[in-house]
Amino acid sequence: MKLRYLPLLALALPACTSNPPETTAAQAAATPADARFDRFKDRFILDLWKQNPDYASSQGFHKYDSLLVIPNEQQRRSDAAFMAKNLGALAGFTLDSLSPGNQIDLRLLANELRSARWYADTLRNWQWNPASYNLGASVGDLLNGRHYPLDRRLRNISDKIAQAGAYYAAARANISHPTREHAALGVAQNEGGLAVFGPALADSVRKSGLSAAEKQLLSQRIAGAQQAVQGYVDFLKQEVLTQQSFRSFRLGRALFDRKFALDIQSRYSAAQVLELAQKHKADLLHDMGRRAARLFPKYCAGQPLPKDTLLLIRQVIDKLTLKHAPREGFVDAVKRQIPTLTKFVNDHHLLTQDPSKPLVVRETPLYMRGSGAGASVSPPGPYDKQANTYYNVEPLPPTWTAAQAESYLREYNDYTLQILNIHEAIPGHYTQLVYANRSPSLVKSIFGNGAMVEGWAVYSERMMLESGYGNNSDEIWLLWDKWNMRSTLNAVVDNLIQTQNASEKDVVALLTGAGFQEEAEARNKWHRATLSQVQLSSYFTGYTEIVALRDEVKAREGAKFNLKNFNELFLSYGSAPVKYIRELMLHR
């Protein structure tokens, strides 16, 4: 089945609200069908965890941590039977018999199951994506977790990696006509995964209370896992990457449009989002031109004002981006900003925050690097709400030249780094996912919609600046426009690359031109776009839908509109698609 790790990704519900709005609405409209559907949901989720233990672990459900699913044909048949059985069960419920909250849950479950079948039967990425097999990632999460005492976690790891040889044998058998890009990523991430089976794990075994026999067995299994991972890496290097023919990483329009519909679950089609993004790009350029003209005399004193608007904007941005963190202090610069963001949200009454939910800024683990995402959030999941939320920040690679490092640091300059931290941490992903974990609906928390999650993070950037963060300066607004242009162009290049064969040269020219990105960032985006499809469209799509919803609510409520109430009500529905949250909020 499709296994999702939110890349990226806590705050409590408002203290003055005894029950989340969805709970109150569901209770008021509860029917016998609701009670039957609630029983189905509970049973379905527990069955799902047996079917997909790694997915369960990622959500904080650790009963099956010791199990390793072997990704072979037998498992795919089992998955198909599971999906068919539950799709049949869902057909026994009708939307109009359920409360509004359960109507959304029904739609989410139906989409999840149909999506899983489409991924397995039509997209068949289990064949062409060697990076989808990475034992180090799941073992690393178990080792670093705090859900069980160390001894129990080590016993689970021991049982899990006992099947490492069979796991990678199945992976090798599955690979057929892969993409070159995903094969290279599979090498990089599994080589990073080897570090999980290195000194840190060995040290944990030595410090544990396992018996001598258990320690010996686990050490043998670690050695076997290392051999299995290295064998897979060697297979990819020697037999896959040396092939003469590879599948294109481009999906084509039909597959892209279908994947967009299943993954994004938007009011808009992929074609409509591309059209909206192109229009928003023009609006952003207009605003950037106005702000750059005002800033030019301050930062480019004595120079003639360029007649070309793009050149004018570029010259001002080039001055602003000279302020940035030092190469060796990038991760520390991120850490220092978190308390400032927390205080601003509190002082301006934008959201109710819960300081008991830990946020830990860390260097991105090696097994997670290489996908092109420089920062991400790893949430604890709805079953493990008190566990750490990790804000993963990649340090600059030591292999980068001084010029490469300077290009990257200018892209994430002092202004933009603040916006990045708003997006990833407070009140972006970290905040939203704490609220999601408090949702009364496990379905909405577990089957989080990426466009809502990313859309909220982009919306939170704008919301913070509109509330006065950065003192409403042209400097921070200009660089937010540039940052928002990145989200906007993400949607543009995602579609153009996957459906219209846009070349690396053309994409880099667009991103460094109208996007004002550093070349290193633009080429990194190309790399990322070759490894993912549709996900890059989620930022702009979700953001556009949330802003439109806020405008609708403001128009309806007029002078009674309260931003904090809107934010908290919106987040209280979990990570559901915005179009479904819109239905609930506009029909309360």
Name, in order, each residue with C-beta under 8 angstroms of 295's C-beta and a sequence gap of 6 or more.
316, 320, 474, 475, 478
pTM equals: 0.86
568-583 mean pLDDT: 93
pLDDT of residue 520: 84
Give helix 429-437 / helix 450-466 axis angle, nearest 10°.
120
Reply yes or no on whether the pLDDT at 90 is more than 90: yes
Residue 496 covered by a domain: no
At 409 the pLDDT is 92
pLDDT at 373: 58
pLDDT at 312 over 80: yes
Q: Output the pLDDT for position 371.
A: 55
What is the tens place of the pLDDT at every residue in 112-137? Answer: 999 999 999 999 999 999 999 999 99
374 is a domain residue? no
Q: What is the pLDDT of residues 368-392, one digit of tens each?
A: 776 555 788 887 777 777 778 889 9
**Which pLDDT score, from 0 to 100, does residue 7 have?**
32
Q: Which residues contact 312 (CB under 8 A, 6 or more apart)?
A: 289, 292, 293, 296, 305, 306
For the residues 78-107, what does the mean pLDDT come to?
95
pLDDT at 588: 67
Position 100 confidence tier, pLDDT thresholds 50, 70, 90: confident
Around 443, how many Cα atoms within 13 Å sit in the side-chain half-sphere? Answer: 23
Integer-rounded Cα Rg, in Å, for the chain is 24
| 316-343 burial: b if 16+ Cβ within 10 Å, else e | bbeebbeebbeeeebbebbeebbeebbe
H or E, element range at 389: strand 389-393
3-state secondary structure of 217: helix
On the question of pLDDT at 470 being above 90, the answer is yes
Residue 407 inside a domain? The answer is no
Angstrom distance (rounded) from CA 525 to CA 536? 9
- For 127, residues 6+ apart whose C-beta sits below 8 A from its C-beta are 174, 175, 176, 177, 178
Residue 309 lies in a domain: no
Q: Which helix or strand (DSSP H or E) is residue 391 part of?
A: strand 389-393
CA angle at 327 for the pair 324 and 329, rounded to the nearest 5°: 85
CA distance 509 to 335: 33
- What is the predicted pLDDT for the residue at 290? 97
Specify the DSSP class assigned to residue 124: -
Q: Judge contact between 452 and 576, C-beta under 8 A.
A: yes
In sequence order, the β-bridge partners of residue 8 are 377
pLDDT at 354: 85
Lowest model confidence (mean pLDDT) among 23-27, 229-233, 561-565: 23-27
- Does the pLDDT value for residue 81 go beyond 60? yes
Q: Nearest to residue 365, comparing CAs of 2, 5, 105, 99?
A: 5
β pairing state of 359-363 and 389-393: parallel
Task: Please count the structural domains in the chain.
Answer: 1
Q: Is residue 207 part of a domain?
A: yes
- 64 part of a folded domain: yes
Angstrom distance (rounded) from CA 190 to CA 366? 9
Q: Which residues pair with 390 in a beta bridge?
A: 360, 378
Q: Give the domain range for residue 231.
A: 21-251
Per-residue pLDDT, 378 = 83
- For residue range 143-198, what is the model confidence (pLDDT) as tens digits? 988 789 999 999 999 999 999 999 999 999 999 999 999 999 999 999 999 999 99
What is the model's pLDDT at position 6?
A: 33
Two tokens at 177?
């006509």
> Is residue 535 pLDDT above 50, yes or no?
yes
Residue 37 resides in a domain: yes
Residue 97 confidence (pLDDT) above 70? yes
Q: Please give the Cα distance from 563 to 63 (Å, whole number).
A: 40
Cα separation of 264 and 437, whole Å?
A: 20
pLDDT (tens digit per residue) in 2-49 = 434 333 322 222 233 334 455 544 444 568 999 999 999 999 999 999
Each residue of 405-424: b (16+ CB within 10 Å) or e? bbbbbbbbbbbbbbbbbbbb
Query: Is 1 a residue whose pLDDT tops 70?
Result: no
pLDDT tens-digit map of 402-446 = 999 998 899 899 999 999 999 999 999 999 988 888 877 889 888
Q: Does residue 359 sit within a domain?
A: no
